[in-house]
Amino acid sequence: MSASLFVVILGLFCCSKESSQSILGRPELMGPSVALVKSIANFHCKLEIYPKNVTILLQLFKEGDRGKELGFYTSLNGVVANFPIVVKPNHEGNLECVAKAQNNSDIEPTVSYTQYLKVLEPVNEAEIVVSSGPEEFFEGKRLNLYCKPHAGNHVSYTWLLNGRLVSPSRLRYVVVDDHLSIYRTTSEDSGSYICIATNHFNETVVFSSNSSEVVITVKDLVSIPDISFTVLKEDSHNYSAVVACQTAKGSPPVTFSLYNRTELVANTTVDDRNATFKLPLVLDRPMGWLQCQANNGDRIEYSQWIPLEVVPVGGPVTMHYDYEIGENYAVIDLRFYCKAAKGSFPRYQWFLNNTLLHGRGSFYYVVNQHPGESRLLLSVGRSSAGTYHCEVSNSFDNDTTISSKRLYMDKEVLNRFPVLVVAVVFGCFTALVVLVSICCCIGGIYRRRQYGEKTPLSFEMEEMMTAYEDELDLSEYNEDADVLNTASGAEFDQASEASVDEWPQIEKEKKTLEDEPVDEP
């Protein structure tokens, strides 16, 4: 038994030895994981299991491309192969080592596991390409910038606007790899753009390239212009209208055109956002309707229409006031209002005791924001007491001045009850008294109708007789109760039917009845 087992083991050993002499093990590929373009990278391929005295050909390929050999080495008896290659950009990818026996087709070739090689080309000569169009355009359009390096891979990009980092934003800025997009541009997006292209080698060596500046100009669209005019007095008989056209925004140059209805009066191009025009003017006469148009190259905006007519100031000049009350129901603030009956360009002046009040003082403030009215705001106190009035004249001359009525005002006058308030309170009280009186009269009439001809005295007499009956003790009388009741009922009926004139007689009879003696039973 033992001899048979020995023979089997010996046979297996011989077979395995013969088999090992005719197969190849899996080669092992070793080398760098990253390399620079044009540098020399050394890869090594080692074979652990190989047949004795058989020449082995080791080849280096890019995975999937066996038609292009990157390097080869002939090895005998397990010598490690060395593949020095000059790195090119197309070498990036998975590399593999293939082992095959030369001149022996009975031995199957073997392939190593793959190893990835990253090929880094240093970035160089970055530039910005404006792919959206011209570098100068109007707001609202889209801007697309592309950072294009002449050389380099595995590049990261940074964008700067006027030296500041551009951060991605959902609403406006979109940065995707080497592209920067700005939706709905505004003039704030104008400036100098730079892109910085960067790549890294082994996290220690950094290659960087800055592009040259690209200046982007986003022009503001012109806004709706405002139009107004003032009056200029040339001499005692001649006047002119100075028309002003201006826009709140709009990149210059701006062309302004002035129209009187459909007729072009004048136009001008300025490097600012306002222009003036001078027209002849006749007072108190309609001279047409004016409109201003503004254009800075992309579109035309139109102002509203205004009438060209100047009416001199005229009376009367009215002045009224209102006030605010504090916690103790005393007037603390007072507001005067002054207004002329007519006038296109009035000038208002306020006076306290014939002293002109300018702008703002310790206790007052003059407000002339609305051309048709002026306000004088007062803080009520000792300093504000006095006589007030306002005067109105044309702003373009002093030929006509109209004064309002004078009004004396102090703290005591303001806190006095107005006559109107007193009259209203007294009237309400009188109306209440009259209303109560009417209600009483109506109630009396209704009560009389309900109870017939009975007077209040009749009701009082009945009540007294009822009380008298209750006080009498009928058990003390010898008379028959029915007779007594009959007599009493008749007497009471007679009393109830008595008039007011019979009242003294009834009283007398009642007294006599009380004085009569009562017989004992």
CA 67 to chain centre: 68
- Per-residue model confidence as pLDDT tens for the chain (521 residues): 444 444 334 443 433 444 445 688 999 999 999 999 999 999 999 988 888 888 899 999 999 999 899 999 998 888 899 999 999 999 999 999 999 998 888 889 999 999 999 999 999 999 999 999 999 999 999 999 999 999 999 999 999 999 999 988 766 788 888 999 998 999 999 999 999 999 999 888 999 999 999 999 999 999 999 999 999 999 888 999 999 999 999 999 999 999 999 999 999 999 999 999 999 999 999 999 999 999 999 899 999 999 999 999 998 999 999 988 877 778 888 999 999 999 999 999 999 999 999 889 999 999 987 778 999 999 888 888 999 999 999 999 888 899 999 999 887 766 654 555 557 767 888 888 888 888 888 877 877 676 555 555 555 555 555 555 554 444 444 444 343 333 344 343 444 344 445 555 555 555 554 454 444 43
**pTM for the full model?**
0.60
CA distance 420 to 172: 65
Structure tokens at 487: 């007599």
CA distance 47 to 54: 13
**Phi, psi (deg, nearest 5) at residue 175:** -115, 115
Tell me which residue of 207, 187, 197, 123 sits closest to 160, measured CA to CA.
197
Question: Which residues, listed in sequence order, are joined to residue 1 by a DSSP beta bridge?
Answer: none
Amino acid in the structure at residue 1:
M
Helix (H, G, I), strand (E, B) or coil at 197: strand
**Look-up: residue for tokens 């009642």?**
510
Q: Is the bond preceding residue 418 a cis peptide, omega within 30 degrees?
A: no
Structure tokens at 364: 């007052």
Q: Angle at the Cα of 262 (from 261 to 264), degrees rounded to 5?
A: 100
Whole-number pLDDT of residue 11: 42
Tell me which residue of 318, 337, 343, 319 sits closest to 396, measured CA to CA.
343
Helix (H, G, I), strand (E, B) or coil at 156: strand
Cα 276 to Cα 44, 243, 268, 273, 310, distances in angstroms = 86, 5, 9, 11, 18
Length of the chain as a residue count: 521
Whole-number pLDDT of residue 469: 52
In DSSP notation, 239-255 reads EEEEEEEE-SS-PSPEE
Structure tokens at 481: 């109760």
CA distance 298 to 462: 108
Whole-number pLDDT of residue 14: 39
CA 280 to chain centre: 46
Whole-number pLDDT of residue 432: 86
**Phi, psi (deg, nearest 5) at residue 16:** -65, -35
Domains of the chain and any CATH numbers: 27-120 (2.60.40.10), 124-219 (2.60.40.10), 225-310 (2.60.40.10), 314-415 (2.60.40.10)
